[in-house]
Amino acid sequence: MVFQDYGRSLFPWFTVKRQLIYARNRIYANPLSSGLLDIQSGYAHRDNSDDAAVEKILEVTGLSDHADMLPNRLSGGMKQRVALARALLLKPGVLLLDEPFGSLDAYNRDQLEDHFLETLKR
């Protein structure tokens, strides 16, 4: 779920990149529900492609240069992109969005719309 008040949905003490890493790690907090529990060994596992996924989503959303910034230093559109990036990174079965591209400029709106469509096709 991506909330409309993006500023309140971000942790104020986490950088942009840390917001995404935290979201990614939440997948592994409950390995049974995420399907990541190896039944043979009983251990949860995660591959290193997830680190590349964080970098990729930062690049796609145009946030690579702002990865070390805290939310109070971001514009409204940048906060919105962080919230969208976090939602995409989780690879949800369902995404609930209410005007997800509303406060984005035309360039970023086009970029993210294309990425969303690519993601939906997979």
Q: What is the pLDDT along the chain (122 residues), one digit of tens a residue?
A: 666 666 678 999 999 999 998 888 876 555 444 444 444 444 444 544 567 889 988 998 889 999 999 999 998 888 888 988 888 888 777 877 777 777 778 888 888 788 777 766 76
Please report the domains of the chain, with CATH numbers, ordered by start residue.
6-121 (3.40.50.300)
pLDDT of residue 42: 43
pLDDT of residue 5: 67
Q: What length does the chain have? A: 122
